[in-house]
Chain A
Amino acid sequence: MTDRQRPTRRGGDKKEETESKQETTEDTTDVDDLDDLMDEIDSVLEENAEEFVKNYVQKGGE
């Protein structure tokens, strides 16, 4: 499968900071990552959600 370019991480500085504080690294990284992920999702989500959802009608099957 294709190798996709991932958007650059936001808050790189923040990450460096947390790396020095071992005990908080995991949680903070997770929150950062979820934040990044939601940025990415916002950018790939079909535009015009109303229209997209309205048009998605499936009939027949099984």
Chain B
Amino acid sequence: MAIHKVLGTETEFGIAAMTDPDFNPALASAAVVNSCPVPGVRVQWSHDEESPERDARSHGHEGFGVSDPQRALVNSVLTNGARLYVDHAHPEYSTPECYDPLEATLHDQAGVVVAHRSAVAATERIGHRLALYKNNSDGKGNSYGSHENYLLDRQTPFGTVIRYCLPFFVTRQIFTGSGKVGSENGRPDIDYQITQRADFFEEEVGLETTLKRPIVNTRDEPHGEPGRFRRLHVIIGDANLSDVQIYLKLGVTALFLAAMEDGAIPEPLDLADPVEACWRISHDIDLAEPVKLLDRGSATAVEIQMRYHEWLSDYAEGLDEAGQWRPVLDEWLSVLTDFEVDPDRTADRLDWVAKRTLVRAMIDRHGLDPQSAKLKTLDLQYHDVDPERSLHRRLLDRGRMRRLFTDEQIEAATLQPPERTRAYFRGETVRRFPDSVAAANWDALVLDTGERHLKRVPMMDPLRGNKSKTERLLDGAEDAAALIEALGGNE
């Protein structure tokens, strides 16, 4: 049986200063992170266990990331177990490790609230309005990521992951896209396309995330016991605003990966040219053009996803947690069948379709050129994290898009960690003993108990350190020293 699919997301926010002529995105991003008013601690992110340049295809440790002092300084760990920091020139929010796709969706949305609050506080501090966008492109050939992470079994050969994920990732774009006015990066000119990211993918497989982007990223940082776990770092998705869409993206992918590990996907469905299929599918807003399969014939992305749906339904039926997957499978099927009738029927769930409705209405209303600056502004502002300015929020408020959570639930998730993963221990330790947290990482916490040496608490299994295992220890400890004592005096 496949290991439990612990998962989480990372979002890099686009950043702009509306009135500042000397705008420096790195400094502005640092101001955002350091102004974060949501409870947490500003601590060093210990890099001793991180190695973003380690490659899943090799056995050695060929290269290690160059440490960037800015990253270490501008870093917060929140009481919900999340991380807010600066990645080069963007504020970035990493959700805590979540137990299931619904919880990960909630925490992805909590990140938007944290980002917005931080931008408001930074705006007050620096005197220029800072706007943040949960999107993936500036429309001028620069893309920034929203990444998904799924826990895999180290036993699963990476060659299997590559082969099965290529066609799956490329065809799932029809429900993971957030929509974009125009094309970039030398791809054929088009007025509107399904995804923000597809134009930027140039390789099938690789280690890079910033140039020559690969459909399957091989970064091998398990953030856990390297002998047992792998973390699949998925870089081909769009940043989504819609609850249902985030849930679909994460849920379908988690189920797909579990089935892949259990050998329950009968055929890999190899595409003849995954890189070309990637942008072709994104550019095909009528969802009508077939892509070539390697072995025989061709199929549309909808047809291929229908096939996966059939296989994964069969697979999920036999699982203990079949009930958890049913709503994912139902949402998925409803989107795919709506696609077959008329893609517009998914405007209440999918960002790319909802945004297209607005783009069309704007063109009709003002007689605009389909790639005019006004439409590009609309495109950007759909993704504004500020509820006053967000066009997505306008759709929610009018009941034109479905929600899975209330504002109150999202609010609570900015403070409270998931209870069934190690994020609980991280978040609760930060909440209870903020002054004693010296450094943190996904798989360790470093505590200052006042003694000569800092105490490192390793958390090498993402499912341990959960509430049921650590709440009593935390409740019984009056300070960090007592907590270390209770944990068994880890060095």
Contact of A53 among B137, B361, B376 (CB under 8 A): B376
Whether A1 contacts B407 by the Cβ 8 Å rule is yes
Is A60's CB under 8 angstroms from B400's CB?
no
Point out the residues of chain B lying under 8 angstroms from A50, CB to CB: 373
Nearest opposing residue in chain A for B399, CB measure: A33
CA distance A45 to B145 in the complex (A): 25
Bound state CA distance, A13 and B137, in angstroms?
43
Known A44-B389, A53-B376; contact A58-B144, beta-carbon cutoff 8 A: yes
Q: Which residues of B contact A62 (CB under 8 A)?
A: 12, 87-88, 143-145, 147, 209-210, 235
Q: Within 8 Å CB of B137, what residues of A? A: 58
List of B residues within 8 angstroms of A59 by Cβ = 25, 89, 142
The answer, among A33, A40, A58, for a CB contact under 8 Å with B138, is: A58
Task: Check if A4 is an interface residue, CB within 8 A of chain B.
Answer: yes
Given A37-B398, A57-B138: A45 touches B88 (CB 8 Å cut-off): no
Contact A45 B12 (CB under 8 A): no
Query: Which range holds the interface residue count of chain A?
Result: 20 to 34
A44 touches B362 (CB 8 A): no
Bound: A41/B373 CA distance, A: 15
Alpha-carbon separation in the docked complex, A52 to B380 (Å): 10
Contact between chains at B12 and A61 (CB < 8 Å): yes
- Contact (Cβ within 8 A) A60 B25: yes
Are A49 and B90 touching (Cβ within 8 A)? no
Whole-angstrom CA separation of A58 from B376 in the bound complex = 15
Give the shortest distance, in Å, between A21 (CB) and chain B (any CB). 22
- In the complex, what residue of chain B is closest to A4 when comparing beta carbons? B388
Choose from B16, B26, B394 the contact partner of A55 (Cβ within 8 Å): B16
Q: What is the CB-to-nearest-CB distance from A8 to chain B, in angstroms, rounded to a whole number?
A: 14
Contact in complex: A40, B394 (CB < 8 Å): yes
Q: How far is the CA of A6 from the CA of B357 in the complex (A)?
A: 21
Is B378's CB under 8 angstroms from A56's CB? no
* CB-defined contacts of A55 to chain B, threshold 8 Å: 16
In the complex, the chain A residue whose C-beta lies closest to that of B21 is: A55
- The interface on chain B, measured as residues whose beta carbon lies within 8 A of the other chain's beta carbons, has a size of 48
Q: Does B374 contact A (CB under 8 A)?
A: yes
- Which residues in B have their C-beta under 8 angstroms from that of A40? 394
Q: In the complex the two chains form, what is the Cα distance from A28 to B279 in whole Å?
A: 37
A1 to B403 alpha-carbon distance, docked (Å): 15
Interface residue ranges of B204-259 to A (CB < 8 Å): 209-210, 235
A46 near B: Cβ within 8 Å? yes
Q: Give chain A residues whose Cβ lies under 8 Å from the Cβ of B293.
A: none
Chain A proximity mask over B113-142: 1 for CB below 8 Å, otherwise 0 = 100000000000000000000000111101
Closest Cβ neighbor of B364 among chain A residues:
A38
Residue in B18, B89, B144, B361 whose beta carbon sits within 8 Å of that of A34 in the complex: B361
- Chain A residues 4 to 62 lying within 8 A of chain B, measured CB to CB, are 4, 6, 33-34, 37-38, 40-42, 44-46, 49-50, 52-62
Contact call B398/A53, Cβ cutoff below 8 A: no
Closest A-chain residue to B391, C-beta based? Answer: A41
Roughly how many angstroms separate A2 CA and B407 CA in the complex, as a whole number? 10
| Residue pair A37, B235 in contact (C-beta under 8 Å) | no
Interface residue from A6, A33, A37, A61 paired with B145 (Cβ < 8 Å): A61
Chain A residues, Cβ within 8 Å of B18: 46
- Are A4 and B398 CB-contacts (below 8 A) given A41-B362, A59-B142? no
Contacts of B88 in A (CB 8 A): 60-62
Binding site for A on B (CB under 8 A): 12, 14-16, 18, 25-26, 87-90, 113, 137-140, 142-145, 147, 209-210, 235, 357-358, 361-362, 365, 372-374, 376-378, 380-381, 387-389, 391, 394-395, 397-398, 400, 407, 411
Can you give 12 contacting A-B residue pairs, CB < 8 Å? A2-B387, A6-B397, A34-B357, A38-B361, A53-B376, A54-B373, A56-B138, A56-B139, A57-B140, A57-B142, A58-B25, A61-B87
Q: Closest 6 interchain pairs by CB?
A: A60-B88, A61-B144, A60-B89, A62-B209, A49-B373, A58-B138
Binding site for B on A (CB under 8 A): 1-2, 4, 6, 33-34, 37-38, 40-42, 44-46, 49-50, 52-62
